Structure 1
Amino acid sequence: MKALDTLRFGKTELLPLIEGGKGISVTNHRSSGAWAAAGGIGTVSAVNADSYDVFGNPIPQVYHGKTRLARHEELIAYAIEGAVEQVKRAFDYAREELVAGRGGLNINILWEMGGAQRVLHGVLERTRGLLHGVTCGAGMPYRLAEIAAQYGVSYFPIVSSARAFRALWKRAYHKLAEWLGAVVYEDPWLAGGHNGLSNAEDPARPQDPYPRVAELRAVMREGGISDDVPIVMAGGVWYLREWLDWIDNPELGAIAFQFGTRPLLTQESPIPDAWKAKLTTLEEGDVLLHRFSPTGFYSSAVRNQFLRDLEARSERQIAFSTEAAGDHQFALDVGVARGKTYFVTRDDLNRARGWAGQGYTVALKTPDNTLVFVTPEDALAIRRDQADCMGCLSHCQFSSWKDHDDHSTGRLADPRSFCIQKTLQAIAHGGDPDRNLMFAGHSAFRFKTDPFYSNGFIPTVRQLIDRILTGD
């Protein structure tokens, strides 16, 4: 493995290894501070991060507001306080290296997070001089450059195609080119978490990332962006030896690498031990690219019981009509509230009766004129979670919340989805990793086969980076 040279990110020369920012307390001050201290760019998640009491224990994010809007204001306050706390602790953890310019510290934020711009302003205002940059994806963050430049930090937009970057550059970023730290290419078929798969791309047919990144570099050159501005390859990166033809490649220009999944299994990683143990059992194919997220984006997570239940729920689904029409001539006689009449096909009527006989006796309407059949207990949990919405997204399909205007998407709340804030808070703070959403990249199965993790070995972040630099 040839030695990796440092690259210029904004105004600083750093090791071209970036910690992927994972939300809801999965990338915190210890993991990101350790990554920065090792000479790379550590990434503090600013997505509803933990703050702490005087004893150092995470403060539970409990909501007292009687309305969604009131709870949304509480959520923004929690988000700002938590992210500021994490940044300050991460900086203290790596202070010597950061002051010397041998490491960098970014925050990661989701543009489609509820109140994202307010949170970003709030965090950057209170962490002046501590941060190198802001990494941002999950949407089209047109105002990212403007906000980052206002506080003197670089911006690292996350895109999944050259087309997306071209739109961002032409509309907004070209005005603030000097603050562009890097462009993160997040492979939509390989990365964990929310992915930027477009409607024109087939989720079942992965594309080779090389030509997509080469196209991204060509678009950057069209915009007058120097080849010295790195493209960060994110998603599917495990062994650097598998990417040797990318390094020092004149077609691609400066290339850095983001590691999102491997840092989950380190001593500094804040995820619970049960989650870490689960990672070491995964087989190839255990990570599912799915579309159950209330964001409406595709996302990748371990296909555990939580996702299997969502798959099964959607399979217990039939179309209906409010009037007898075409093949929909049969009045549904199970799962329907008194006074409601829905017409379905003969086959769907028989399917619904079968589900009811198995205990799925409640039919919930979806925004697509279909009904999904669930147990009475699940129906109560779904309705309770929808009612308890705290506005964690800018637009939520599950609860029909919107963080602006009249605070409603105008569509029926979708029972095929779930409260993402609830399940991510739960798994990050000790909840059952089989019964909650467990984000992971598609290379997570390699924990089981990589000899580095033999005999239950869990490295420190520095040991992991030293290992990565060998090519393994």
Structure 2
Amino acid sequence: MFKGLKPIQYAGREVWPLIEGGKGVSATNHASSGAWAAAGGIGTVSAVNADSYDEDGNVIPQVYEGRTRTDRHQELIDYAIEGAVAQVERAHEIAGGKGAININVLWEMGGAEAVLQGVLERTKGKVAGVTCGAGMPYRLSEIAKQYGVYYLPIVSSGRAFRALWKRAYHKVPELLGAVVYEDPWLAGGHNGLSNAEDPTKPEDPFPRVKQLREMMRKEGISDDIPIVMAGGVWFLRDWNDWIDNDDLGKIAFQYGTRPLLTKESPIPDIWKDELTKIEEGDVLLHKFSPTGFYSSAVKNPFLRSLQGRSERQIPFSTEKAGEHTHQLDVGVKGKNFWVAAGDLLRAREWDGQGFTTALKTPDNTLVFVTPEERAMIRKDQADCMGCLSHCAFSSWKDHDNYSTGRLADPRSFCIQKSLQNIAHGADPHENLMFAGHAAYNFKTDPFYSNGFVPSVKELVDRILTGD
């Protein structure tokens, strides 16, 4: 047992202060989360587009029949509720009364409140708590109180937590299960970098977590309410100075990336195999996500194609003005596209390389793509089922008039499609592959030598040694 690590009280029982990160869209399901709980930790079922099953136990494909986006959006909510309920029930059975089961939702996912309420209504007594980030989930505490579960907000700064506490959480202090500090430079998936923070200059998490604890103390929150360190956590020995540290209070640790490579992990073998090839620096913090948030994912051909698309970008105006002195004669139809002389030459070069179609962005720029890319972008935008509360790629919004009012952005992509694809066996090179920045350890950690893939129990036991 790693020196100083002690069980914590959660949901009326003793559990290890080890939490499985709830990776969305079928990357964390009942098998992994139930096994994590059975090993004595807190397993986390992803309630983001989770899989549901037919009577024979086969995954039900999420096919959308609705003719309008609002119709498809309701189908998405129905799929999400059925899937998450199925995952929770199976995870609860696997856990066998050990550990605890949380669910995870993204506040910025489409229909988040409807999904959360629909799942909690049907899983009473089986879900201990709800972790929630990707936005400012002010209503999380109110919903938790309605169903008698803990809430665990995911924040990336003390300032963000204080805003949530002042506005809403102070009314439900008794159900605050923990505060998850997700390092915005190290965590996989969507990251909470603010406009004041430089994505290229990572900050030491210790002072930021210390500040979070100080803010919690000022609000009268007990040191027994854990702060969960998430992002970049691999070896517990790296965090030795955090355990039993009076400046931090009670600390727990969340593992998002490491549980991807276990026997119970539901991701396809082709994805697991790719994890073992990641080198240090292969995970990119980027801003291509249609959520508008920064996001960390493996620099694979899919991500590089998005990088290339944005690099093939020039500003334009609809009349001759300023630097825009030349009419664009490639990629567009009509004569009302004026660009700078140098950009005209670049556009002609891209056209010669096969990027013969220009698409407008909301920022008065044009990106150059192949005709095949254009067809895919337009189809994906037309097929939108409203998986986000606000989507830059399709201009969808899940309330009011169902439109963000901005031009759909071809520099982004359909995140629902890509994550469903990779989770169900499609080529990891051609889809978004989320991973934390410590994923290169799969290749260097001797625990995984000779192609060894542990069970969840073996992984938890290994983590408990400090390694």
Q: Could you tell me the TM-score, scaled by structure 1's length? A: 0.98
- Which runs of no fewer than 5 residues in structure 1 stay unpaired? 98-102
Alignment match, 1:21: 22
How far does residue 9 in structure 1 lie from its aligned partner after superposition? 3.0
Instruction: Give 1:167's aligned residue.
Output: 163
Query: What letter corresponds to residue 209 of structure 2 in structure 1?
Result: V
Corresponding position of 2:72 = 71
Displacement of 1:13 in angstroms is 2.9
Q: CA deviation at 1:340?
A: 4.8
For 1:323, the aligned partner's letter is E
Alpha-carbon offset, residue 180 of structure 1: 0.3
Aligned residue pairs: how many?
466
Aligned to 1:407: 402
Within 1, Cα distance between the matches of 2:400 and 2:417?
Answer: 25
In structure 2, how many angstroms separate the alpha carbons of the residues matched to 1:12 and 1:361? 62
Contact 1:149 1:176 in 2 (8 A): yes
| Structure 2 SS opposite 1:438 | coil
Pairs within 5 Å for 1:443-454: 443-454=438-449
Q: CA deviation digits over 1:394-420, x for unaligned, max 9?
A: 000000000000000000000000000
- Structure 2 match to 1:460: 455
Shifted more, 23-32 versus 88-97: the winner is: 88-97
Q: CA deviation at 1:10?
A: 5.3
Post-superposition Cα deviations, 1:104-152, rounded to whole Å, max 9, x if no partner, equal 1000000000000000000000000101100000000000001011101
1:140 aligns with 2:141: no
Amino acid at match of 1:285: G
**Mapping for residues 327-338 of structure 1, pairs under 5 Å:** 327-337=323-333
| 1:7 shift after superposition | 1.4
What SS does structure 1 have at the residue aligned with 2:172? helix
Give me the whole-angstrom Cα distance separating, in 2, the residues matched to 1:302 and 1:170. 37
Equivalence for 1:119:
115
Q: Which residue of 1 aligns with 2:430?
A: 435
Aligned pairs for 1:132-281 (under 5 A) are: 132-281=128-277
Structure 1, residues 255-310: CA drift from partner, whole Å, max 9, x if none? 00000000000000000001000000110000000000000000000000000000
CA distance in 2, matches of 1:340, 1:307: 33
Give the Cα–Cα distance (whole angstroms) in 2 for the partners of residues 96 and 343 of structure 1: 67
1:420 counterpart (415, 418, 440): 415
Amino acid at match of 2:212: L
Corresponding residue number in structure 2 for 1:302 = 298
Who is 1:287 aligned against?
283
The code of the aligned residue for 1:125 comes to E
1:327: how far off? 1.1
SS at structure 2 position matched to 1:96: coil
Structure-2 residue corresponding to 1:319:
315
Looking at structure 1, the residues matched to 10 and 97 of structure 2 have their Cα atoms a distance apart, in angstroms, of 19
Tell me by how many angstroms 1:14 deviates: 1.7
Give the SS at the match of 2:430.
Answer: coil
Matches of 1:9 and 1:317, distance apart in 2: 51
The 3-state SS of whatever aligns with 1:194 is: strand
CA distance in 2, matches of 1:113, 1:426: 18
Q: What value does the CA root-mean-square deviation take over the aligned residues?
A: 0.7
Distance (Å, rounded) in 2 between the aligned partners of 1:219 and 1:267:
40
Q: What CA distance in whole angstroms lies between the structure 1 residues aligned with 2:310 and 2:118?
A: 39
TM superposition score normalised by structure 2:
0.99
- Contact 1:214/1:252 (CA < 8 Å) preserved in 2? yes
**What letter matches 1:75 in structure 2?**
L
Q: Which residue of 2 aligns with 1:50?
A: 51
Provide closer, same or farther for how the CA distance between residues 230 and 221 of structure 1 changes in structure 2, counting only shifts above 3 A: same
One-letter code aligned to 2:379: R
- Which range is displaced more, 84-93 or 51-60? 51-60
Any idea what SS the aligned residue of 1:106 has?
strand
How far does residue 341 in structure 1 lie from its aligned partner after superposition?
A: 1.7
Distance in 2 separating the partners of 1:327 and 1:86 = 57
Q: Give the equivalent residue in structure 2 for 1:100.
A: none
Q: Contact 2:358–2:369 at 8 Å: present in 1 too? A: yes
Letter in 1 for 2:110: G
Post-superposition offset of 1:423: 0.2
Conserved 8 A contact 2:151-2:178: yes
- Equivalent position amino acid for 1:271 in 2: I
Code of the residue aligned with 2:79 in structure 1: it is: Y
Q: Structure 1 pair 10/220, CA: closer, same or farther in 2 (3 Å)?
A: farther
Residue pair 1:194, 1:298 contacting (<8 A) in 2 also: yes
Secondary structure of 1:355 counterpart = helix
Deviations 1:80-109 (A, max 9, x none): 000000000000111232xxxxx1100000
Secondary structure at the aligned position of 1:434 is classed as: helix
4+ residue segments displaced more than 6 Å? none
Distance 2:179 2:380 in 1: 36
**Cα distance in 2 between the residues matched to 1:76 and 1:96:** 29
| Residue aligning to 2:8 | 7
Unaligned runs of at least 5 residues, structure 2: none
Amino acid paired to 1:324: K
1:342 to 327, 337, 342: 337
CA distance in 2, matches of 1:83, 1:190: 27
